Structure 1
Amino acid sequence: MFDEKLVIPAIFIGFALLEILVGRFSPKGRVSTRDAVIEAVSTLTIILLTVPAIFAIAPLLVEWVRPGSEGALAFLPWWVMLAILLIGDDMTQYWWHRASHTFPWLYNLHRAHHSGGYMSVRIAYRNNLFYYLFMPGIWVSAVLVYLGFGPVYIAYLIVKMSVIFGAHSSWRWDEPLYRIKALSPLMWVIERTISTPATHAAHHGLHKEDGVTHYKGNYGNLLFFWDVLFGTAKITRRYPEHYGIEGLEPVSTAHELAWPLVRK
């Protein structure tokens, strides 16, 4: 029996197993107990608390504004729903992510995502506990699902999270494809359309002088096209040797997870 609630965790576990097979799930000397705590708490929070809460509250807000709206847009063709989701969810997430690297106060909600010195599917949900709660795209998605986008949203989310997990993963699915000359035109299109391990790893790089790191760009989640469109793309088909935050000032685990409630 198909249960869509299990699909995303299954994809996550699949990438984790691939990383374990290639020996990159827990890089020696880079992953600390602190990292494991941050990742476990933030991942479980978004899956078990944040997203369920948003999807429970959003319908109440819709009914408060416009009673009787459940399924009101279910008549739309699937491709129209997809276009609305790409703009309402994925493009707004691009701007939310970009804003997180622009405004210092908002960066405090995103800092944890970059403080790990490695790439791995385990950091995909690694963020402050409030980062996803205030992410506009999740609220938009919850409203759209209530309005009748449910089946299309499930398919969209499966594709989106597969791309996001893949982009964060230390199992670099794109690397061998770059070496095949015949695939170069296809990869040119792919790397400008969706996020890949190479383009997203550049966003997580530690040293901007390495010629690869681009932490003030490559913000795209599902679609890297937003970076191309809005002028924040950098494509090198290479990967940084080191990851993290340049000039990082140490803060407590509680600060990374619970700022502004904890400021030490």
Structure 2
Amino acid sequence: MISTARTHRSFFAYSAALLGLLSLFAVFCFHFPELLTSKEFRAAYTEQFARHLLLAGLVAAFVMGTLAILRDRNKRVALAGVASATLAVLLGGTNVTFDAIGKTPYSLGLDWFVISLFFSALVFVPLERYLGQRRISPLRPGWRTDLTYFFMSHVLVQFILILVTASTSTVAGLAAFPALKDLIQAMPTWLQFLVAVFVADLAQALLHRAYHNTPWLWRFHAVHHSSREMDWLAGSRIHLVEILLTRSAVMLPLLVLGFSASAVNAYVILVGLQAVLAHANLGIRFGWLEYVLVLPRYHHWHHARHADYIDVNYAIHLPLVDMLMGTFKLPPHHAWPSEYGVMKLETVPRGIVRQHLMPFRSRKAYDDHVA
């Protein structure tokens, strides 16, 4: 008989554990800023902001952990959160001091992971709780795997950027379209941004369709489609090879055509926001906007475990791209998929390590799979 205690996870306990761990990571960032923080992301926030955020995380971890322990709910998880927060305080907490941050040839984006996860959860967990299309817990099956993917993609952000830049800059340097570049660079930044969104979305949609129709590419992309529930965290489940391929394919035309840095940076921000939004469990009726922007219902049908939707809705920004490609399909009457995941569930194993090894193995089925 399965214990009923195991089927009811305490939101306070797991929140305390997450906040305690994030607080501990933040303290490590203060101790080793050259190695653990991204130079590009440090420009987006102040030291004072980071200290205030750390203080809020510590207080919340102690309060939520204590409440969970007093209520006798997932006490071990809650204690782990309190212990992590306590260790963070013992290591200096918000009082850690450091000299001017030096330069290193590389660094991890641990600060990007901490801040991004904190605010993403702060925004989307309540939104999905009260506006969700499906009633699912933030601690639904597979959340640990998706959180690990979230961690990997954020912490390795600089290495991914280096690899993408190296792979695209060489090719971009060989291409020369002076007349087209002059035309684009003469545009105001806002217009460059709109054109960049269309060009980048068309590039990624073409590659996206190739993922679905080329067997060896599908083995990488199947990892992303293996999520059995759709929420803001599910979009993080992407094989590292796919991250490199997709970001290279998207950045290449933007570099070749000479879009300004401001337009490209604005596009990068849009990608981060819309990628989370498109996967989110939000049952809001957006009406005509669903035919202008890729919103949750549109992208959820792309993830549907439904034979009629395995080759549609490849765009991540503009449904216009799918309309031009002949791959646009959105059912009327606000219908939503009843099930998500790959058609053959046994072909994708559970766990981030086995999922990363899966494309390189000849096995066609796994006993411990995503079903």
Fold shared by both chains (TM-score > 0.5): yes
Q: 2:336: which partner in 1?
A: 239
Counterpart amino acid of 1:96?
L
1:53 and 2:163 aligned: yes
Give, in whole Å, the separation in 1 of the partners of 2:113 and 2:154.
13
User: Is this contact kept in 2: 1:12–1:121, CA < 8 A?
Assistant: no
Q: 1:26: which partner in 2?
A: 138
1:8-47 deviation per Cα after TM superposition (whole angstroms, max 9, x unaligned): 986775443233224456253x326445444543x33763
1:227/1:134 Cα in 2 relative to 1: closer, same or farther (>3 Å)? same
1:17 and 2:122 aligned: yes
Shift of 1:260: 4.3
* More helix as a share of residues: 2
Higher relative contact order, structure no. (Cα contacts within 8 Å, ≥ 6 residues apart): 1
TM-score between both structures, scaled by the size of structure 1: 0.73
Counterpart amino acid of 1:58?
T
Q: 2:262: which partner in 1?
A: 151
Runs of 5+ consecutive residues of structure 2 not aligned to the other structure = 1-41, 46-108, 130-135, 364-371
TM-score between both structures, scaled by the size of structure 2: 0.55
Aligned residues with identical type, % of pairs:
20
User: Is this contact kept in 1: 2:297–2:336, CA < 8 A?
Assistant: yes
User: Is this contact kept in 2: 1:111–1:256, CA < 8 A?
Assistant: no
Please tell me the root mean square deviation across aligned C-alpha atoms, in Å.
Answer: 3.6
User: Is this contact kept in 2: 1:108–1:256, CA < 8 A?
Assistant: no
User: Is this contact kept in 1: 2:199–2:254, CA < 8 A?
Assistant: no
Counterpart amino acid of 1:17?
L
1:45/1:224 Cα in 2 relative to 1: closer, same or farther (>3 Å)? farther
User: Is this contact kept in 2: 1:227–1:233, CA < 8 A?
Assistant: yes
1:95-152 deviation per Cα after TM superposition (whole angstroms, max 9, x unaligned): 111111111111011011111101122222322211122224334166259x452011
Map 1:136-147 to 2 at 5 A: 136-140=248-252, 143=255, 147=258
- Residues matched between the structures, number: 241
Could you say what secondary structure the match of 1:177 adopts? coil
1:108 and 2:219 aligned: yes
1:126/1:227 Cα in 2 relative to 1: closer, same or farther (>3 Å)? same
Counterpart amino acid of 1:176?
I
Shift of 1:90: 1.2
Runs of 5+ consecutive residues of structure 1 not aligned to the other structure = 179-186
Give, in whole Å, the separation in 1 of the partners of 2:250 and 2:156.
11
Q: 1:176: which partner in 2?
A: 284
User: Is this contact kept in 2: 1:99–1:106, CA < 8 A?
Assistant: yes
1:240/1:121 Cα in 2 relative to 1: closer, same or farther (>3 Å)? same
Q: 1:181: which partner in 2?
A: none
Give, in whole Å, the separation in 1 of the partners of 2:256 and 2:116.
24
Give, in whole Å, the separation in 2 of the partners of 1:148 and 1:25.
42
Give, in whole Å, the separation in 1 of the partners of 2:291 and 2:306.
23
Give, in whole Å, the separation in 2 of the partners of 1:82 and 1:9.
28
Q: 1:193: which partner in 2?
A: 292
Map 1:24-173 to 2 at 5 A: 24=136, 26-28=138-140, 30-31=141-142, 33-41=144-152, 43-44=153-154, 47-59=157-169, 62-63=172-173, 65=174, 75-77=185-187, 78=189, 81-82=192-193, 84-135=195-246, 136-140=248-252, 143=255, 147=258, 149-170=260-281, 172=282
